[in-house]
């Protein structure tokens, strides 16, 4: 059975629906409430399972009906490598936040992300990168902590 992206997504969602549906039967029943905590999730999950099956079936029929020549022409190249790199940078930033604190980790994050998106080549570009990184930290610190009294994360290692 050949499936495209929709069919695979439908199968994954169907699997998730079934797994969670099975889990609802482990939820306790409450004597004072006519329906238990699993009642509403079951409705949602059955709905999700049924629609996922429909998506898989639609996709199967579409893939079978499509001629090989009907494949879409490739569009401009998309930078999925960059997307993966940026997700990694954001994940590292969020993991470092509680240890290094907002000020240090944000400066590193803004610098790293600029570097990942557009590599600086000249000393002027490097200076601009550093200025944006430090400027973001200074402005956000002044606006949020000093003016709006919104607390930003402190680092357990740095105390900043």
The residues that touch other proteins, with contacts defined as CB under 8 A, are 5-6, 9-10, 13, 20, 23-24, 27-28, 30, 33-41, 44-45, 47-48, 51-52, 54-55, 58, 76, 78-80, 82-83, 86-87, 90-91, 93-94, 97-98, 106, 109-110, 113-114, 117-118, 132, 136, 140, 143-144, 147-153
Which residues, at least 6 apart from 13, have a Cβ–Cβ distance to it below 8 Å? 48, 52, 55
Report the nearest approach of other proteins to the CB of residue 60 (Å). Answer: 13
Report the nearest approach of other proteins to the CB of residue 19 (Å). Answer: 10
Report the nearest approach of other proteins to the CB of residue 101 (Å). Answer: 12
Cα 41 from Cα 60, distance rounded (Å):
28
Report the nearest approach of other proteins to the CB of residue 154 (Å). Answer: 10
């Amino acid at each position: 059975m050949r499936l495209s992206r929709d069919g695979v997504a439908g199968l994954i969602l169907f699997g998730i629906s079934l797994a969670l549906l099975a889990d609802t039967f482990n939820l306790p029943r409450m004597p004072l409430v006519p329906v238990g905590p699993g009642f509403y999730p079951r409705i949602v999950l059955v709905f999700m399972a049924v629609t996922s099956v429909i998506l898989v079936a639609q996709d199967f029929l579409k893939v079978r009906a499509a001629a090989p020549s009907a494949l879409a022409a490739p569009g401009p190249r998309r930078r999925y490598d960059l997307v993966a790199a940026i997700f990694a940078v954001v994940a590292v930033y969020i993991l470092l936040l509680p240890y290094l604190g907002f000020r240090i980790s944000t400066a590193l994050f803004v610098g790293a992300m600029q570097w990942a998106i557009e590599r600086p080549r000249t000393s002027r570009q490097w200076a601009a990168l550093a200025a944006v990184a430090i400027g973001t930290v200074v402005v956000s610190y002044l606006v949020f902590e000093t003016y709006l009294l919104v607390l930003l994360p402190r680092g357990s290692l740095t105390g900043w």
